[in-house]
Chains A and B, each alone.
Chain A
Amino acid sequence: MRYPAFLQRIADRADVQPVRILTFSINGQAVSAREDETILSVARENGISIPTLCHLDGLSERGACRLCIVEIKGSPKLSPSCVTLPRQDMEVITNSDRVLDYRRKILELLFTERNHICSVCVSNGHCDLQSLTTELGMTHVHYDYLHTRHAVDASHERFSVDHNRCVLCQRCIRVCEEIEGAHTWDVMGRGYLSKVITDLNQPWGESTSCTGCGKCVQVCPTGALSEKGKSVAEMTKKRQFLPYLKLMRGDESR
């Protein structure tokens, strides 16, 4: 769209933000946003909580865990708020019964997939998956447990990976690729048989690309990646550094 000439001269100025600002509503609350912000970040800015698992501030979005789904008025489809951009006058509902019900069931599915027994886990009490159960009011699992069995890799001198606790959120992969720049981690296999691997599925300790920075361990939401020497409930994660690292690398988009 071209503006009238007097306005276009201003719009063309290089020092003016080229991004539009728009207003929409979340749960009836009016909010304003840049057009390139996600619904999730606008919601959180305004104190509206939306549960997430694969999302982590500072990392690229995956839209994979499906816990942040929201309803948008006029659309029969549910949208993952972490990758959906707002439109002017859009009406977003984050807490309808339908959405809450789906989120709880998705979380249940995650608990059936692999072995998530909190009482014997290094991350007990400091686990994103565990916190989600309280946040979403999940009290029990009404599907059958699958509990696929995986070997533990403790070949690295400082860290270990227990695939039985992994939720395949791919945070480790992203932090390693996008922030550390090593791309040690990746996924192997398909569907419920997929698994995160180091290098070309070598033991972690033999990885030639791993720098041993430990960022993957800090961003892991569960006890899948942990520091050695930590016993039950002792593994607390330090991930406050992330947004700053991203900033230092020169990526200004939030």
Chain B
Amino acid sequence: MTIEELQDIGKIEKEKQEGFKYRIHVCVAAGCLSSQSGLVKEALEKEVARRGLESWALVKGVGCLGLCTAGPMVAIEPDGLLYQGVSVSDASDILEALGGPPVNRLDCSAHLPFFARQRKIVLENCGHIDPESIEDYVAEGGYEGLYNALRTMTPAGVIEQITKSGLRGRGGAGFPTGLKWTAVSKTKSNVKFVICNADEGDPGAFMDRSVLESDPHRVLEGMAIAGLAVGANYGFVYVRAEYPLAVKRIRTAIARAERLGVLGRNIFNTTFSFDVTVRLGAGAFVCGEETALIASIEGRRGSPRPRPPFPSELGLWGYPTLINNVETFANVPPIIRKGGAWFASIGTEKSKGTKVFALAGRVNNTGLIEAPMGTTLREIVFDIGGGVTGDRKFKAILTGGPSGGCIPAQFLDMSMDYESLAQVGAIMGSGGLIVMDDSSCMVDVAKFFIEFCMSESCGKCVPCRVGTVQIYNLLKRITEGGGKPSDIELLEELCDLVKNTSLCGLGQTAPNPVLSTMRYFMDEYKAHIEDKVCPAGTCHMNPTE
């Protein structure tokens, strides 16, 4: 296949869709589907048929439109109208209003700061294309990056662009992607692997899930480009079984891509072959750690091993392996299409590009957002997020899930990038943001996350296995009113121990929520221990002594 043939596929698809006067986009990602957007789509299709408008209006299922809290969402193109909270009974009104004034009770302005303040690279196709249609993806320039990489660039040239872009791993640690690719490409081996880590397990995070559900081909294209760059011919997508829709869509995408000849053997009639297989995780948080993930794919117990050697040297079945997160791969096609310098022009000095965040908790606009690195927390929470629910007082925001930290209100004007977050004791993590208001007890929050880590610890190394239980027990005692003044010191000591001596990232970061809440909300700990009072009123204090 030549680039012209590829572009023709896209052009034909585009013309076909533009032949319709109106295109009705119904969100069919997990959030809206669970509020029955599937039925809404069916109702709209029926209504179109009933009115005999099949050649005039197209009803299309699309990926995440972002504002999950207002689902099911429906967008009307080319008018740019957006409807929220649509139910089956609204179908007739929506069709009635086509071409006229919008249905007021459903209107959700697309010019809201929620939409206007975002900048989309990873999510550029979400809400526009049908995730199950490869033609739709091609129409938006899909697989052109792969074509360019194969036909006009050398593997070293691809890596050069990635390095120049300044892209850093979106899985949490922020390791420079170009460096990782270089390391794998330098290894001498006939067999190498590329793994896409889609084992997203942080409570409250759904970025990777949405990308896989809304735009799976983007991830596949990124993986194939990576395979070309590092010299790998096999790829695995390790996705958790709790994401059935994402699994279904990525599997469909692989089948369609193979049929089109952009994946599988002799891609674009070159000698390059790249096969992708989906592997399901069985619901262990620790399998997001790369060495545990590899063990799980190999069919062994998912527990981490000490590094070095790193997977780039000794990975899957002992072969050099490149592991990147879903969002990292999703950034690759636009970088190859538009060049590393373009990507590097977005963001801050050390953190380039954009970051997808899953905004959750006590915030008005719960949903999926994408903002340039360096956007302040205030913009994210108050402009894009629409502020705290019920106009309550903002108290803290938790970034990075159970490995992250709670950032208090005094840092609201801090820029969101890897370095600034690390400075205040938090991490970027995979992008889960949980907003908390004054009704959240910070001791209770710390307890919740350490309980999560305690039960998700694999049990291999002693500090993580036993230390997290000890920390949890102390916090439980404090929130139940049985805390002793000496507990603070004991907590600090245990956190320090677990952080510095654990084997893998899970243990090394597990104390972060406790440490950060102790750093910024010590008065709450003291109130629990000394006055036996929970200032937020969340904990049921019943001192036993």
Contact = CB atoms under 8 A, between A and B. Distances in A.
B462 interface: yes
Contact of B459 (A65, A69, A193): A193
A63 interface: yes
25 contacts: A62-B460, A63-B461, A63-B503, A66-B462, A69-B501, A102-B497, A105-B493, A106-B463, A109-B462, A109-B463, A110-B462, A110-B466, A112-B470, A113-B469, A142-B490, A143-B490, A143-B494, A168-B459, A191-B456, A191-B457, A191-B459, A191-B468, A192-B457, A192-B465, A194-B459
A66 B458 contact: no
Contacts, number: 91
Contacts of A63: 305-306, 461, 503
Among A69, A105, A144, A167, find the residue whose CB has the most chain B CB atoms closer than 10 A: A105
B350 interface: no
Contacts of B468: 191
Among A66, A113, A143, A167, find the residue whose CB has the most chain B CB atoms closer than 10 A: A66
B454 interface: yes
Contacts of A192: 454, 457, 459, 465-466, 469
B367 to A, nearest CB: 32
Interface of B: 284, 301, 305-306, 454-470, 473, 490, 493-494, 497, 500-503
Given A65-B461, A105-B493, A191-B457, A146 B466 contact: yes
Interface of B is mostly: helix
Among B301, B457, B465, find the residue whose CB has the most chain A CB atoms closer than 10 A: B465
A109 B467 contact: yes
Given A66-B502, A102-B500, A191-B455, A113 B461 contact: no
A190 B458 contact: yes
Interface in A179-223: 186-187, 189-194
Given A112-B466, A112-B470, A190-B284, A64 B490 contact: no
A30 B494 CA distance: 35
Given A109-B470, A112-B470, A186-B301, A191 B503 contact: no
B453 to A, nearest CB: 9
B465 to A, nearest CB: 6
Contacts of B455: 190-191
Contacts of A187: 301, 459
A98 to B, nearest CB: 9
Interface in A151-185: 167-168
Contact of B461 (A66, A105, A143, A190): A66
Interface in A12-64: 62-64
Contact of A66 (B305, B457, B473, B503): B503
A106 B494 CA distance: 10
A63 B291 CA distance: 14
Contacts of A86: none
B220 to A, nearest CB: 32
Among B455, B462, B467, B503, find the residue whose CB has the most chain A CB atoms closer than 10 A: B462
A192 B473 CA distance: 13
Given A78-B501, A168-B465, A190-B456, 11 more contacts: A63-B503, A102-B501, A105-B497, A143-B494, A146-B466, A167-B462, A168-B460, A189-B459, A191-B454, A191-B464, A192-B469
Contacts of A186: 301
Given A102-B501, A109-B470, A80 B306 contact: yes
Among B466, B470, B473, find the residue whose CB has the most chain A CB atoms closer than 10 A: B466
Contacts of B301: 186-187
Contacts of A194: 458-459, 465
Nearest to A69: B501
B463 to A, nearest CB: 6
Interface in A55-110: 62-67, 69, 77-78, 80, 83, 102, 105-106, 109-110
